[in-house]
C-alpha cells in the first residue's frame, strides 16, 4: 500500500496534473518526505496542509535569526552547509544547548555540517567540539573538496521541510522558506551531493590544533 501511494504521487506530480488529483498527489508526496510513508524516519507530529512561507532576507543578521528559528523547529535532522560557521556564531551557550537538546530527543536525530574551511571550528568552537565528542555518532563535521569546494552559496536545511539560504554566501541577500516541501527536498538532494564530496575533518580531540 505504501509503495503504491508513493508511486501514484510521483507519477501524478511528473505528469503535471492539477485539480483534485494533483492536490492529492502533492499531499501524499509531503507525507512521504516527512516520514509517514517513509519507514526509515520518525514523525513527531502529523503533516498538515500548511502553505509554504517565503521571507526575503536583506541583512546577514537576518540569516542568523533564521538559523535560530530552524534550530528551534528541528525534529529529526539539521544539515548545514557553510563557509566556516563564523557568521552563524554557532558556539554560543544558547545555540549549543539547543543542539544538545535536539540530539537528546531521539537517537535517530542527526546534525550534518559541511564546511569549506574547518579551521575556525577547530580553534574557536570548543563547545561544538565537546558536543561532537558527546554525540559522535549523531553529529558529523566534514570539510568539502572537489566540485563542492567551488560552490558559492550557503544554506541550512531542517527536516527536509524548512530551508534558509544565501545564493552567494559573501552577500547578505537570502531567503527563508518554511513548510516548503518541494524546495526543501531539492536542497536535501543537493546537500547529499555536497556530502559525498566531503570527508570527516573535525573530531573531539582536534580543538585548539
Q: Is the pLDDT of residue 32 over 50?
A: no
| Co-location of 127 and 35 in the same domain | no
Residue spans of alpha helices (H) in 19-160: 20-34, 60-73, 93-105, 119-124, 126-134
| Co-location of 23 and 118 in the same domain | no
Please indicate, yes or no, if residue 193 is contained in any of the structural domains. Answer: yes
| Co-location of 67 and 86 in the same domain | yes
Q: Among 7-11, 126-130, 171-175, name the one with the lowest average pLDDT.
A: 7-11
| Co-location of 157 and 191 in the same domain | yes
Pair 70, 80: CB distance under 8 Å: no
| Co-location of 19 and 82 in the same domain | no
| Co-location of 145 and 71 in the same domain | yes
Please indicate, yes or no, if residue 65 is contained in any of the structural domains. Answer: yes
Please indicate, yes or no, if residue 132 is contained in any of the structural domains. Answer: yes
| Co-location of 29 and 76 in the same domain | no
Q: CA–CA separation, 27 vs 47, rounded Å?
A: 9
Pair 73, 156: CB distance under 8 Å: no
| Co-location of 130 and 183 in the same domain | yes
Check residue 13 and give its pLDDT: 45
Q: What is the mean pLDDT of residues 70-85?
A: 97
Q: CA–CA separation, 33 vs 50, rounded Å?
A: 14
| Co-location of 92 and 119 in the same domain | yes
Question: In terms of residue numbers, what domain contains 191?
Answer: 49-200
Residue 14's H or E segment, with its range, is helix 2-14
Number of domains in the chain: 2
Pair 151, 120: CB distance under 8 Å: no
Averaged pLDDT of the chain:
82
| Co-location of 72 and 122 in the same domain | yes
Domain of residue 141, CATH code? 3.30.870.10
Amino acid at each position: 500500500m505504501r509503495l503504491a501511494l508513493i508511486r501514484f504521487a510521483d507519477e501524478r506530480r511528473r505528469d503535471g496534473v492539477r485539480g483534485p488529483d494533483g492536490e492529492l498527489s502533492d499531499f501524499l508526496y509531503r507525507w512521504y518526505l516527512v516520514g509517514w510513508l517513509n519507514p526509515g524516519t520518525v514523525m513527531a507530529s502529523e503533516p498538515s496542509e500548511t502553505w509554504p512561507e517565503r521571507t526575503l532576507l536583506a541583512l546577514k543578521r537576518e540569516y542568523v535569526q533564521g538559523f535560530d528559528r530552524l534550530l528551534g523547529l528541528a525534529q529529526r535532522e539539521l544539515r548545514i552547509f557553510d563557509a566556516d560557521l563564523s557568521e552563524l556564531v554557532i558556539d554560543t551557550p544558547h545555540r549549543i544547548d539547543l543542539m544538545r537538546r535536539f540530539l537528546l530527543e531521539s537517537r535517530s536525530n542527526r546534525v550534518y555540517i559541511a564546511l569549506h574551511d574547518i579551521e575556525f571550528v577547530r580553534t574557536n568552537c570548543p563547545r561544538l567540539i565537546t558536543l561532537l565528542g558527546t554525540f559522535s555518532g549523531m553529529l558529523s563535521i566534514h570539510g568539502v573538496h572537489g566540485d563542492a569546494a567551488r560552490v558559492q552559496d550557503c544554506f541550512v536545511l531542517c527536516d527536509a521541510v524548512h530551508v534558509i539560504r544565501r545564493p552567494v554566501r559573501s552577500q547578505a541577500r537570502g531567503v527563508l522558506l518554511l513548510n516548503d516541501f518541494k524546495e526543501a527536498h531539492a536542497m536535501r538532494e543537493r546537500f547529499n551531493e555536497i556530502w559525498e564530496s566531503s570527508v570527516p575533518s573535525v573530531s573531539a580531540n582536534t580543538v585548539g590544533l
